[in-house]
Structure 1
């Protein structure tokens, strides 16, 4: 019986089982050149560093993998980028012993993290534009928060404006992360970033339209139907399903199916939404908002051209290695953010500018009513008087009253009302009213509700403080 077992062991050693092993590289050094091919080499191929059968290929989720069959019971191996000067090393660029695998004849997967390459010596590429991207992400977050104040009573416009700038913040934070993660995770970020391409078009259209037409715009979720499909595709790619393995295959040159189908189709969809904006919007906006909308539109057009040029370069291998494809796209796409920040810094009411030029009917009649209410009824004595209350007394709309004051008196509502209060204060003071009342007491009588408001309004109308004014009289 013992002889039988010994014979069986000898037969197993003489005829080792063939096992199938999938080697999966799930992490690479950050400085790994994108154009370099990575090979596995070992005892199974006489340490050939450029064996085409041992070339690792990119998977749907960005990892690199190769499947090999082995008959040897013990395998030693390493990874290189095509020659022994580019062999893998340790974290401190030190020599590492050969990796070892025991072949038990089963199908197995081995997951590897490559820490360094001998020729790179621990070098790390750093893109200083990452600081700029981070700054744009912060500015986008500021605009996101401000949107709740700018469009406080316009919920639809508020949601569109906030969503657009929230997406911009995510986009630029992702761009920052791209420069600090390893190449495998860079692919993951690319896959997730491609989802934003499908949100880009409808969000740009909704933003341009809601600002151009100065109206609340219902969001049609049909616009975002392709986005949900791409989210599903991205999830399946990150799960590394074999059904999507063709996404990593090349169509022509360096252009992959994934880039063609997702990036290409997403940009075509964005083109459609920009064309829809041209035909749906009459573009009658005037003033600074007019130029802001033109800036957004032209920036999107130029960015689309850059993406299509990148796809062309990939297809016809204009570059001998893969360039940093979207670097200047991100720089250009940040331009409208700067325009918004500067505009809001100079004028917090920038987006409140009316986009429609309208004629005031019965302007003479309204001016006559306004004069009677202010001079005879002296409605400005009401400390809580506001534009809605005055418009109600005149039997008109608040925005019409505001336009009337701007066009005929070149004043806003507050300055117009305060000018009456200041003039009556001066008239009352000159007839001796200040002998019985203090400055503040008389200010309250003519309609001011605080000392600071009175002082500011008085100086704005007379270029002097109350005491300076009456001393000079």
Structure 2
């Protein structure tokens, strides 16, 4: 029994003599190739620069980390990309001394900032697409602002356009940021971008449906369930929870579980909505506006989606380096949607507004006799406060249909149409001797005018003369 106690004491002493430290890379040089592995090397492994036991692995939030066990009181170490020619250096690519760590009791991870690599020397190719991505983000923000003005009285449609343009703005600003931040922050942007992709499909569907002026299309919460869930996963990943560590594991080549589940999942949801909208398009009217515009939007979304699936495939085959830069053609094609919308607005500023209803000829045939009876037999224009709403109510129709009827069949608005009857009757009454008993204003009140100024303006607009000039030219 004493032997067991002795072994236990020896085990405890040996464990206490061993230190455990976690190193987390907080910053990498912007030039770091995405496909390169990073190792920690030092006195604890005989300075082996590519020891798989000391490979830094991605955490759920995209950071690189490694846990080091050592028994020495002091260790020296450095970080490499698998070779002494690819060892870390200083800001000016100068040699830096070995890092040193003294055995400690704290369990807090050690943050590491790598400034440069010897073989790269700070060189970095500039991505000129940054300027183009920024212009698309800028255009998206302008369109977002215009949406508040265009759909001032249509909150449902405004909500769709604002969300769509907000999606484009965030997506392209993130793409700009991706090319100017260091690889660790690039990992954060990728995680957020994978969640953002879940907005794409529902908003493309709602956008096309609204452009076609479908009625009773409301934005319900179920369109946003996927992006809410994806955003929650992204938030938990950024918290570095161990449960999500499998998202960083490779399935094949450079295709990780995170990219397959999130980018792939978002792409599949988009595919579902594109197929759904294809079934709803009126192909017999595809050459007419707005269906031709919807077809272009559908095609551009479909081509963009093909680039996503192709990029996932090449990642899985190991043909690309697996970073977001390989998706740049997806961003280029998708940006054409913004230009398509800008061109549509440039050609017709009212393109996205709901077009007024076209009055069917059968309906007009029913309404015209009613209107004639009300005006000629019942003389409803005698009501001084007669309005388009009141007259529409008497005709058992809607105000906008009445306005359309007057515009198409009489080429007049409501006020000019009613005043025409009033002026005509005023002239008839005046010619019949009524002016001998009433003044101009009194007679104007009798036919429905409620003020002298309104009467004078209406009379002159119709006869091109004032009342006195008219009756002087045409003697009673």
Q: How does the TM-score come out when normalised to structure 2?
A: 0.75
Tell me what 1:31 maps to: 31
Taking the aligned partners of 1:368 and 1:286, their CA distance within structure 2 comes to 37
Taking the aligned partners of 2:114 and 2:390, their CA distance within structure 1 comes to 72
Listed one character per residue, the Cα deviations across residues 210-239 of structure 1 (whole Å, up to 9, x for unaligned) are 232432422221232222222221111101
Output aligned runs, 1:68-217, within 5 Å. Answer: 68-104=68-104, 107-217=107-217
What SS does the corresponding residue of 1:361 show, helix, strand or coil? helix
Tell me what 1:459 maps to: none
* 8 Å Cα contact 1:212/1:285 also seen in 2: no
The structure number with the bigger radius of gyration is 2
Tell me what 1:336 maps to: 337
What SS does the corresponding residue of 1:331 show, helix, strand or coil? helix
Taking the aligned partners of 1:353 and 1:286, their CA distance within structure 2 comes to 19
Q: Which sections of structure 1, spanning at least 5 residues, go unmatched?
A: 1-12, 425-441, 455-473
Going from structure 1 to structure 2, the CA distance change for 1:101 and 1:225 (only over 3 Å counts) comes to: same
Tell me what 2:313 maps to: 312
* 8 Å Cα contact 1:42/1:78 also seen in 2: yes
Listed one character per residue, the Cα deviations across residues 353-391 of structure 1 (whole Å, up to 9, x for unaligned) are 53987633343566788899999x9x9xx9x99987997
What SS does the corresponding residue of 1:231 show, helix, strand or coil? helix
Taking the aligned partners of 2:412 and 2:354, their CA distance within structure 1 comes to 13
Tell me what 1:243 maps to: 243
Taking the aligned partners of 2:354 and 2:412, their CA distance within structure 1 comes to 13
Listed one character per residue, the Cα deviations across residues 257-289 of structure 1 (whole Å, up to 9, x for unaligned) are 111111111211122222222335546577332
Going from structure 1 to structure 2, the CA distance change for 1:399 and 1:40 (only over 3 Å counts) comes to: same
Taking the aligned partners of 1:28 and 1:320, their CA distance within structure 2 comes to 17
Taking the aligned partners of 2:174 and 2:391, their CA distance within structure 1 comes to 51
Moved over 6 A (4+): 13-16, 355-358, 367-375, 384-395, 405-409, 411-414
Tell me what 1:471 maps to: none
Going from structure 1 to structure 2, the CA distance change for 1:365 and 1:226 (only over 3 Å counts) comes to: closer
Tell me what 2:288 maps to: 287
Taking the aligned partners of 1:390 and 1:344, their CA distance within structure 2 comes to 36
The alignment of Structure 1 onto Structure 2 pairs a total of residues equal to 415
Output aligned runs, 1:239-388, within 5 Å. Answer: 239-280=239-280, 282=282, 287-319=288-320, 324-352=325-353, 354=355, 359-363=360-364
Taking the aligned partners of 1:331 and 1:389, their CA distance within structure 2 comes to 54
Over the residues paired in the alignment, what is the CA RMSD in angstroms?
3.9
What SS does the corresponding residue of 1:66 show, helix, strand or coil? strand
Shift of 1:250: 0.8
* 8 Å Cα contact 2:60/2:237 also seen in 1: yes
Q: How does the TM-score come out when normalised to structure 1?
A: 0.76
Between 86-95 and 67-76, report the one with greater CA deviation. Answer: 86-95
Going from structure 1 to structure 2, the CA distance change for 1:128 and 1:389 (only over 3 Å counts) comes to: farther
Q: Which sections of structure 2, spanning at least 5 residues, go unmatched?
A: 1-12, 424-452, 462-476
